Amino acid sequence: MKTLLRLLALLAWLIPSAYAAETGYTLKATEVKDKPFLDANTLTTLPEKTTVEILTRQGAWMQIKTADVKQGWIRMLSVRLGSPDQKPQGGGNLLSSLIGSRPRPATTSTVTTGVRGFSEEDLANAKPNAAEVEKMKGFAATPGEATRLAESGKLEVKPVAYFDENGKPLKEKK
Amino acid sequence: MSALRLAAALSIAAVVLAGCKSGGGFDLKNMDLGNVVKSVGNLREVKEPEEIQIGQSMTETLLGARPLFDDAQLQHYVNEVGLWVAQQSDRPNLPWHFGVNDSDHINAFATPGGFIIITKGMMKQLRNEAELAGVLGHEVAHVNQKHHLKALRKSAFASLLGEGVAGASGKQAELVKNLAGPTKELYARGLDKSDEFEADRMGVVFAARAGYDPYGLPAVLTTLASADPRDNYLTLLYKTHPLPQARLDKLAPGLTTLDAIKAPQNASRFQQYTKNLRVVTK
């Protein structure tokens, strides 16, 4: 019990800090804005491969700080997670690697031993499991439950049109 | 139209084409090419109950590869989020089912009729509910557009589809058996790239309509783009999908139209429901 409590305390401490620790770097020269809007004031321009610490995310924007910039907003699509000097690290998600719940990504075949997978081989060897589908059906949500989830999560339905590959809105239902 | 006749017609067509290519002396006038075209064109529309039965059969095989993750609360939560997103599609009244499977691999799957599986490994990559809504939105889009059903038409199962094997026979076990091979092949090979790009565009729209921060799916793709492509957990995802950076590039023009939307990500609720995924097991 004591061990469990300690573990929970450790987790509670790790989760927020893991978020704060997410880092990335700029894929290209990127303007830093004082607010998360395109027409906001430009504070500075970061050169390519500038390391940034990611503070929060909002829509298209990441709030960041760097060695020189106290804080500002840059476009999410201009950022790659990890470090510009290192090869990408596995899943690239510091949250999971810090907490250690995910086994180290496998770059050698030996590491996959005992991994619960859904590899091509697992798929090839699959035997249909009807009972598991019945179990899945048992977890289904009702429309009422979905609505309550939306209400408690402050999710408001918005009219958003489909768009084509050029980003042009499509008027008609596809 | 019998399956045998279609198969025969197609073989004849193949022989004809091969003959043309090699410049062989086939007499085209004696070939009933019109019949071949008619046969292929005649593959009837699959009705919705049959589509659901096909999807359920395929899901039996996918869950046969890895069963569900044992966490009833999480499973129900993912169903609530998934259904809310699916209700923003053109097929809100399908019997939508969502499940987290117990796999460390990073992936998600849809089968016809509204069955959607997301791996535990993918769940662990996500930061908040908006990202989950984005991934589920992508899968809902595959069902909305019947991408897998269309792919099945091109497989060995096509002739059985034409026969209406699902609806008519009503024998679930037989259908599962007939579909197991094509299912394994389809989910190992993946859909056309254009279908994946379309599902990205629609998935973002479904999540935005559902009231989420529309940048959930792009955030996930950014996470995946930062991953090591040699990571074995990503092998199947990378084999069956365009690379994350290509998907981001394709999505970018449409995304900017959603920039004005300011909407919740619901990170704390997501963290609460997914806490069992992060328990240290070793």
Say if A165 falls within a structural domain: no
* Vertex A128 angle, CA B178 and B124, to 5°: 125
What is residue A9's predicted lDDT score, i.e. its pLDDT? 55
Say if A168 falls within a structural domain: no
Range of the domain at A45: 2-99
Q: Which residue numbers in chain B have pLDDT < 50? A: 1-4, 6-42, 169
In this structure, the number of other CB atoms found within 10 A of the CB of residue A161 comes to 15
Distance from CA of A115 to the nearest CA of B (A): 7
Say if A57 falls within a structural domain: yes
In this structure, the number of other CB atoms found within 10 A of the CB of residue B164 comes to 13
CATH number for the domain harbouring residue A83? 2.30.30.40
- A contacts of B184 (beta carbons < 8 Å): 123-124, 126
- B180 vs A98 pLDDT, higher one: B180
**Residue A11 confidence class, pLDDT cut points 50, 70, 90:** low
Are the Cβ atoms of A60 and B76 closer than 8 angstroms? no
> Could you give phi then psi for residue A42, rounded to 5 degrees?
-90, 120
- A89 vs A170 pLDDT, higher one: A170
Give CA separation, A165 vs A169, B145, B240, B250, in Å: 10, 16, 20, 7
Chain B's closest residue to A125, CA to CA, is B65
Say if A108 falls within a structural domain: no
Say if A131 falls within a structural domain: no
Q: CA A24 to CA A93: how far, in whole Å?
A: 11
Say if A105 falls within a structural domain: no
Residue A3 pLDDT > 80:
no
Residue A16 pLDDT > 80:
no
Break chain B into its structural domains and give their ranges: 1-42, 48-149+187-278
Q: CA A33 to CA A45: how far, in whole Å?
A: 9
* Interface predicted TM-score (ipTM) of this complex, two decimals: 0.82
Are the Cβ atoms of A111 and B232 closer than 8 angstroms? yes
Are the Cβ atoms of A116 and B115 closer than 8 angstroms? no
**Residue A135 confidence class, pLDDT cut points 50, 70, 90:** very high
Total domains, chain A? 1
